[in-house]
Amino acid sequence: MSDQHTAYSPAALTERGKDLLISVSGIRGTIPAGLDPVNTAAFAQALASVSGRRVVIGEDARPTGPALKQILTGTLLACGKEVIDVGLAPTPTVKAAVALHADAGVMISASHNPLQWNGFKLMQKGGFFFDAAMNAKWLAALEANAKTGAGPAVPYKKLGTLSQRDAIDDHIKAVLKQLPLLEKIRAKKYRVVVDGVAGAGREALPRLLEALGCRVVRLYCDPAPDFPRPPEPTPKALKEFGKLVQSKKAAVGFALDPDADRLVCGGPRTGAINEEYSLPLAFYGLMAGNKQEKVRKRASVVLNLSTATLLDSVAAQFGVPVYRSAVGEANVVAEMRKRKSIFGGAGNGGVIHPDVPSFGRDTLIGAALILQAMAERDLKSVEELLGEIPPLYMQKTKFDFEREHLQAIFGRFRDGFESGVRVDERDGLHLSFPDGDWLHVRASNTEPILRVIAQAGSPRALKERIARAQALL
């Protein structure tokens, strides 16, 4: 059974380091608990120890971002690195910049966590997030630097260089290349609402949509001292977004999280649409204009264990099998690369297209694919596609817990359900029931909580599954 969190020894970090969350999803902490200047410089020195010469740095709109970026940048320059600053940019844009121009990268973001949090998403050559092997290598460098009291510093004549780049423009061009029906999308001149949560995607997504000929209605796309709504794009957080999509009679709306790697749609009748629908909607767009020979050649999709089975049903329409991986973008991408998959993602609105240089959860390609699906079928709104996707009965809950009790909790869940349950222990505990229902219990990679996610065949069955899970907790 995997526990993807890594505990650092006090030798490597200051005492505040014990408050950090470090996992396959990156480094997260509150300010100054964990992300103090000493620890931040140590992280950068360890990155310098395991990366090539050229490093991309980007950030979301958190007010702590500039200070952290200054520490990272200065440390990397002192280690002789060529730093490319792409400024305010979505996580997938930074990943694409690394893939196109560099050897490593850092995205300064805590994704959907509240404003007092920040963090670092570390990237290796190719724009891929650090996997378990790279995390271990980076950790070893962190420990070694702490023991010697020195990192890979260089003489003053060999200090690194700093440059700036508009990585958003590169990213948009890469997305447009993946759209065989580009001109048909432009001809539709769709009205689209964008909720940028005043974050990293507030400029990038509107720029892409304008390049697609869309008439963009902006919500929360201006700078702000705080998030104008809760940062995680949940139904409760997206009420204003949903109302605006309805009042403007937009063909579709797209809402983002602060670092713009999660995409949630909205429709003119329903308002905000459950995030789990983003993947099947985008998959229809991937199939639009594609020849069946290409599908047969790379015929598989990879999702994580916490993702609903909606895409399974849609992929089956095209004869494409679906496989599962542990939660975490690095895990999904690793499985996609292994299987040479045509598509992948996470049910939280993370669309992954392997032919875009970001090769990770990417809101820009996700939005473009959904518009392509609509254009191919001459649809007036995204809701016309929803009728082809099964109904969803799913609940995502989270609980505070003590980590030392985690194995005992898993034990109660193993023993707490009827016989015939299939158990998958690749990531926490995933239980598949004979009737097709499933339940996933795991420690979060990004917050100090326990996640319990369930999908069932009916509202009543879902209620019963969740009630049983709560009783076991």
CATH superfamily assigned to domain 15-165: Alpha-D-Glucose-1,6-Bisphosphate, subunit A, domain 3 (3.40.120.10)
Determine contact, residues 353/369, Cβ cutoff 8 Å.
yes
Q: From residue 69, how far is each of 37, 43, 90, 138, 445 by CA, in Å?
A: 11, 12, 15, 19, 23
Phi and psi at 362, nearest 5°, equal -140, 110
The whole-angstrom separation of Cα 321 and Cα 302 is 9
Give me 316's structure tokens.
């089956």
The gap between the terminal CA atoms of the chain, to the nearest Å, is 19
Give dist(CA 403, CA 459) in Å, integer. Answer: 31
**CA distance linking residue 379 with residue 373, whole number of Å:** 8
Both structure tokens of 408: 């005992």
Q: Edge to edge, what strands does the sheet with 263-267 contain? A: 215-219, 191-195, 252-256, 263-267, 271-272
- Which residues in the chain come in under a pLDDT of 50? 1-10
* Per-residue model confidence (pLDDT) at position 294: 60
Tokens of 113: 């966590």
- Tell me what pLDDT residue 403 has: 79
Domain coordinates in residue numbering, the chain: 15-165, 171-386, 394-472
**Domain pair 15-165 / 394-472, same fold:** no
Supply the pTM of this predicted model: 0.93
On the CB side of 176, CA atoms within 13 Å amount to 17
Cα distance between residue 202 and residue 85, in whole Å: 18
For residue 365, what are its two tokens? Answer: 């390609």
Report the chain's C-alpha Rg in angstroms.
Answer: 22
Measured distance CA(276)–CA(273) in Å, rounded = 8
d(CA 421, CA 441) in angstroms, rounded, equals: 14
pLDDT reported for residue 276: 97
CA distance linking residue 250 with residue 21, whole number of Å: 39
Q: Which fold has domain 394-472?
A: TATA-Binding Protein (3.30.310)
Q: What separation in angstroms does the CA of 295 have from each of 286, 288, 317?
A: 10, 11, 12
Give the helix, strand, coil percentages of the chain, each rounded to 5: 40, 20, 40
pLDDT of residue 296: 57
Two structure tokens written together for 259:
């670092």
Q: How far apart are CA 467 and CA 455, in angstroms?
A: 13
Tokens of 347: 């049910």
3-state secondary structure of 365: helix
Per the CB < 8 A criterion, the answer to whether 20 and 27 are in contact is yes
Domain 171-386 has CATH 3.40.120.10: yes
